[in-house]
Structure 1
Amino acid sequence: MNGPWDVWSDCTPDCAAHTLPRISATGVARRSAVFAHRVRRALTDGERMADPVRLRAHAGALLDALGIRLVSPGEGPGTLTSGGGGPGTLLVVNHISWLDIPALLAVEPVTLLAKREVGGWPVVGGLARRAGTHFIDRTSPRGLPGAIRDLTEMLAAGRSVAVFPQATTWCTADQGTFRRATFQAALDAGAPVRPVTVEYTQRERPSTVAAFCGEDTFLGSLRRVLAARALTIRVSAHPVLTTVGPDAGLDRRELAARAARAVRGGRSPVAAPVGGAVVRHTPVAAADVRDAPAHV
């Protein structure tokens, strides 16, 4: 744990597993080559990548290179934010993998609020920086009021921001507690809150192969994803929670609780057993490699 803002997850790299047999070594090599090519194209785009149309295209191309199918609320922009002018939308999303970031950007490029360490991640860090991600330092508790104030100002100015209120990654969508601080920014800005669920499947069967938890590394996670057969990311947008009008009396505790229930599909949070998270399938193969630690 890097500081007082960090949350400890019971999930470990052992939670990540293939639901289906892996693709062939030839298929992995082909995907690796295409992925490397598209990463180079994205990073050499420079400042132009910040253009929403280009950013969305690059994010989608990276997922496609990995053989990942993306299922989203719609094919055009504006499928996650509430629109209509006024304050931006606070998107609150469960957190499973580094793939959550390109998946969200491929649906609708919005500003991301992420911990500072994400900026140093291979591939995703460069994509996140060029996307205009707002990084926060979670090692200092004194920085929290300023971070919430900045988030409030962005929302009030009409910018939509995606946050991961679980504060760390879990191997399934129905784990972890939603931290309340970012919801205060939505209340202060009078901004709508859109709960969003990100789920991973392999041929419609729940899969944890993309989970990036504990002492896992980007390289180890990438190797698993490259070998994953029929991996699908489903991004589901739930009805907007308003912070004005009939719901104006909500405090951040209730707003966070409602958002968490929506993201989990009405299910209560699952308590993971010591040493590993709940896995709702029988894995065919366990996680691959673990290199030098890179805590999520």
Structure 2
Amino acid sequence: MSVWLPTAPCTPRTCAGHTGPVRGRLPATALLLAGCSLVLAGVVCVPVVMLLGRAPRDRLIRWWAYGVVRAFGVRVRVTGRPQSPEGAAHTGTLVVANHVSWLDIPLVAAVLPGRMLAKSEIRRWPVVGPLAALGGTLFVERDRLRALPTTVRDIAGALRGGSRVVVFPEGSTWCGRGPGGRFRPAVFQAAIDTEAEVRPVRIAYRTARTDGQAAGAAAFVGDDPLAASLWRVVTAAGLTAEIGVLPPIPAGTLPGRRALARAAQTAVASDSANRSAESVHH
């Protein structure tokens, strides 16, 4: 067991249930096909998209990622201000979020597109692996503690070059109920080394029947098969993905990476993420 391989207590049987309204088999199948088709289209278009300038590329990625979430039948609710204040330094931004589902990836990209930190196994996947690398994905060997310094240097290099880097520092998915996992501090060293800002992001999934509590339909935890999770999402009627973009934390304002990780985790876990929505998409 390494620092990159924490174990969440969440399991599909106890955490991933859905008790609210459900869609019929036919509309759910249509959503499943639409969502998977849009994902595949995005993968195929990666080489062309990477030829674009940063602004049009980010705009296209946001449209595509938002479309993916909606194609799977999930509403999107965004709170907070994604952009830094005018006059902020032109260094990169380390985006850190809690991790609930595979839906987190397009959800974050719909608001704050950036270079993802992913497990090294993805690099070896057919088609997806090379395209992920082409798209700027940073890879980490989670089962090798000695690889951490290299990963931190890679993240620092991306931040120094002005990139936005997206990380899920819990190191594993959690169901969204309770406090979640501890933010591992290693990646925060990259923000300190480059004097980059850290942008905490809060992710939650809810339905009208959950009365403000996390919805289990979106949870992708433990040994849950991806196919089962996909079907659970498209059959869960009224599922809403909430993403709260919290105020940035300048890395230089805290004494070290552990304090920075704690501050980001506290911000994500606090009720301040649940303020009034600035944009709600249906």
Task: Tell me if the contact between 1:19 and 1:202 (Cα under 8 Å) persists in the aligned partners.
Answer: no
Secondary structure of the structure 1 residue equivalent to 2:265? helix
Secondary structure of the structure 2 residue equivalent to 1:58? helix
Q: 1:152-182: per-residue Cα shift (whole Å, max 9, x none)?
A: 1211221111111100000016211111101
Secondary structure of the structure 1 residue equivalent to 2:65? helix
1:175 aligns with 2:183: no
Query: Paired residue for 2:150, among 146, 149, 168?
Result: 146
Question: What are structure 2's unaligned runs of at least 5 residues?
Answer: 51-56, 273-282
Query: Paired residue for 1:53, among 38, 54, 59?
Result: 59
1:27 aligns with 2:30: no
Aligned residue identity for 2:74: I
1:187 aligns with 2:186: no
1:116 aligns with 2:134: no
User: What corresponds to 1:6 in structure 2?
Assistant: 5
What is the 5 A alignment of 1:120-139? 128-129=132-133, 131-139=135-143
Separation in 2 of the partners of 1:80 and 1:128? 25
Q: 1:243-263: per-residue Cα shift (whole Å, max 9, x none)?
A: 23xx2x521111111111100
User: What corresponds to 1:219 in structure 2?
Assistant: 227
Deviates more, 1:82-91 or 1:179-188: 82-91
Separation in 2 of the partners of 1:142 and 1:79? 34
User: What corresponds to 1:276 in structure 2?
Assistant: none
Separation in 1 of the partners of 2:176 and 2:128? 21
Question: What are structure 1's unaligned runs of at least 5 residues?
Answer: 268-296
Q: How many residues align?
A: 260
User: What corresponds to 1:230 in structure 2?
Assistant: 238
What is the 5 A alignment of 1:39-78? 39-50=39-50, 51-73=57-79
Question: Counting helix residues as a fraction of each chain, which structure ranks higher?
Answer: 2
Percent identity of paired positions between Structure 1 and Structure 2: 37
Separation in 2 of the partners of 1:261 and 1:34? 37
Secondary structure of the structure 1 residue equivalent to 2:69? helix
Task: Tell me if the contact between 2:3 and 2:184 (Cα under 8 Å) persists in the aligned partners.
Answer: no
Separation in 2 of the partners of 1:221 and 1:119? 23
Task: Tell me if the contact between 1:48 and 1:54 (Cα under 8 Å) persists in the aligned partners.
Answer: no
Separation in 2 of the partners of 1:58 and 1:120? 24
Separation in 2 of the partners of 1:65 and 1:92? 25
Aligned residue identity for 1:23: R
Task: Tell me if the contact between 1:167 and 1:179 (Cα under 8 Å) persists in the aligned partners.
Answer: yes
Secondary structure of the structure 1 residue equivalent to 2:116? strand
Distance of aligned partners of 1:136 and 1:81 in 2 relative to their CA distance in 1, 3 Å threshold: farther
User: What corresponds to 1:294 in structure 2?
Assistant: none
Task: Tell me if the contact between 2:20 and 2:209 (Cα under 8 Å) persists in the aligned partners.
Answer: no
Separation in 2 of the partners of 1:72 and 1:179? 26
Q: 1:202-234: per-residue Cα shift (whole Å, max 9, x none)?
A: 127330211111111211111111111111111
Secondary structure of the structure 2 residue equivalent to 1:52? helix
Distance of aligned partners of 1:127 and 1:210 in 2 relative to their CA distance in 1, 3 Å threshold: farther
Aligned residue identity for 2:36: A
Distance of aligned partners of 1:80 and 1:182 in 2 relative to their CA distance in 1, 3 Å threshold: farther
Task: Tell me if the contact between 1:35 and 1:65 (Cα under 8 Å) persists in the aligned partners.
Answer: yes
Separation in 1 of the partners of 2:166 and 2:66? 18
Alignment TM-score, normalising by the size of structure 2:
0.83
Separation in 1 of the partners of 2:166 and 2:49? 18
Secondary structure of the structure 2 residue equivalent to 1:229? coil
Query: Paired residue for 2:256, among 243, 251, 259?
Result: 251
Task: Tell me if the contact between 2:185 and 2:261 (Cα under 8 Å) persists in the aligned partners.
Answer: yes
Separation in 2 of the partners of 1:126 and 1:226? 28
Task: Tell me if the contact between 2:47 and 2:131 (Cα under 8 Å) persists in the aligned partners.
Answer: no
Distance of aligned partners of 1:128 and 1:20 in 2 relative to their CA distance in 1, 3 Å threshold: farther
Task: Tell me if the contact between 1:112 and 1:161 (Cα under 8 Å) persists in the aligned partners.
Answer: yes
User: What corresponds to 1:79 in structure 2?
Assistant: 82
The runs of 4+ residues in structure 1 deviating greater than 3 Å are 80-83, 117-131
